[in-house]
Amino acid sequence: MQKTIFALATGNQIAALSVIRVSGEDSERILKKLTLKNTPAERILTLRNFYFPDSNKKLIDRCLVVWMPAPRSYTGEDCIEIYSHGGDAVFQAFFSALMSFPNVRYAEQGEFSKRAIINGKTDLVKAEAVNDLINALTEKQRELATSQFNRGLSIPIMKWRKEILRCMSLIEANIDFSDESDTPESVNITHELLILREQVKSAIKNKDYYELVNKGIKVVFKGKPNAGKSSIFNSILKKQKAIVSNTPGTTRDIIEGQINFKGYAINFYDTAGITKTEDNIEREGIRRTRKLLKEADIILNVTEDDNFLPKSQSKKEWLVLNKIDRSKKIKKNLRGKAILVSAKTGEGLEEILLRIHKEAIKKTKSLNDPKNIILNLRQAKELEEAELNITKALEEKSEEIISEHLRQANRSLERIIGTIDVEEVLGNIFSNFCIGK
Ligand code: GDP
């Protein structure tokens, strides 16, 4: 028999309230036994005393509880939610009371969502969106997660699945008939598959938006030693109160810091610059810097020499002239060619941020268009697999093999929404879910 699970759904710090979630067949029995009363009305907050089981009414807490019988609950199972007082001792008391039931255990990460998917209450795309919402640090991340939840991928995936299944049934009917005298001419599904492939392809194109919003826009410093890269990096992060961390890289020369600016996460990377060196560790650092420069959304090429501006290597590389506090007058010809800043006085740093923000808005413009399908890397990988199989089906003559490719494409779509291979896919995804979700 499937165990009944429970978990603290709120953070375990000192707080006015905590929510303890219980899900599974034993929920009602637990509720009755701990409150020594009948089950309260469905889905209505009810005040109850909770007692340790078989304790002669030793009180745990007096608090609200809601009873949500299957299937009208998040997991689709019988559920209770206890709105207990916050704090560790209260939870520990509930913990020991709940653990005294033989078929009850503490939930694993994401296990409530896993059960919700298995019971058809939600799908994987939506569960992932909820997880993103919980983890959102910036306004854009929150917006993206909610729109994923509302308009998400699930709808087009269902549509594409239906189309693939229709094509498969046409082909399979043809295979079945092929021994008979009134064999229909070979079916032509090329047109349908071409349209389908186009739609899948255009969705895959959007995979970078998700990363950009959730992981943050990548801004990498480059420039000669002493130009003031670290000073600018530090000033920006200090001024904006870095929200995540200043983690030193694995080598001595890449330092990363993230800020939340006007709703966007921006990651800054301070690099040591690219120099000729015999030192192995330094070489590794340079290899990483090169890779980082390639992946960057924006490169800030910092210089301190107002007589000679380096040439920008690409559109994503912006010139930054630092230490303008040293010159009495800024040469006219420099304006417009470089962002003029002083890490020392802070002048111009806001300008850098505003420009990055503008670029982030430009890069994520498509997110606002409800017609656009946004997907994360896992979903994109499955869609790429589906696209590959549709292409193979288009190139194939044998109907049996076409059918097999379509079956594979369909499996990729099913993995996206979690109708197959649930355990395997969920195991990976839910390892970064929180326990009470
Ligand atoms: P990096 O090697 O490019 O990271 O350069 P640093 O940030 O270590 O700065 C090199 C030197 O320039 C340090 O002595 C800083 O104090 C100085 N410096 C950095 N920014 C400014 C600035 O805006 N004005 C002035 N006057 N000095 C600066």
CATH superfamily, region 4-107: Probable tRNA modification gtpase trme; domain 1 (3.30.1360.120)
Q: Say if residue 102 is preceded by a cis peptide, omega within 30 of 0.
A: no
Does residue 229 have its Cβ closer than 6 Å to ligand 1?
Answer: yes
Q: Cα dihedral sign for 134, 135, 139, 141?
A: negative
Q: How far, in Å, from the CA of 230 to the mean position of ligand 1?
A: 7
CB 285 within 8 A of CB 274: no
Band the pLDDT of 249: cuts 50, 70, 90. very low
Q: Three-class SS of residue 130?
A: helix
Domain locations in the chain as residue ranges: 4-107, 151-206+373-432, 218-364
Amino acid at site 333 = N
Instruction: List pLDDT tens digits, range 23-37.
Output: 999 999 999 999 999
Find out whether the beta carbon of 199 lies less than 6 Å from any atom of ligand 1: no
Contact partners, residue 279, CB within 8 Å, separation at least 6: none
Smallest CA separation from ligand 1 atom 9, residue: 228
- Hey, what CATH class is 151-206+373-432 in? mainly alpha
Specify the amino acid at residue 229: K
Strand partners, 67: 42, 80
**Digit-coded pLDDT (tens) for 167-223:** 998 888 777 665 555 545 566 889 999 999 999 998 898 888 888 999 999 999 998
Q: State CA 371 to chain mean position distance.
A: 20
Nearest-CA residue for ligand 1 atom 17 is: 228
CATH superfamily, with its number, for domain 218-364: P-loop containing nucleotide triphosphate hydrolases (3.40.50.300)
Looking at the chain, the whole-number percentage of residues with pLDDT higher than 70 is: 86
Predicted confidence (pLDDT) per residue in 298-323, tens digit: 999 999 988 888 887 889 999 999 99
- Decide if 335 contacts 319 (C-beta within 8 A): no
| Phi, psi for residue 196 in degrees, rounded to 5 | -60, -45
Cβ of 351 closer than 6 Å to ligand 1, yes or no, is: no
Crossing angle between the packed helical segments 154-177 and 190-204, to the nearest 10 degrees = 150
Q: Which of 220, 221, 224, 231 to mutate to test the pocket of ligand 1 (most atoms within 8 A of CB)?
A: 231
The pTM assigned to this predicted structure is 0.81
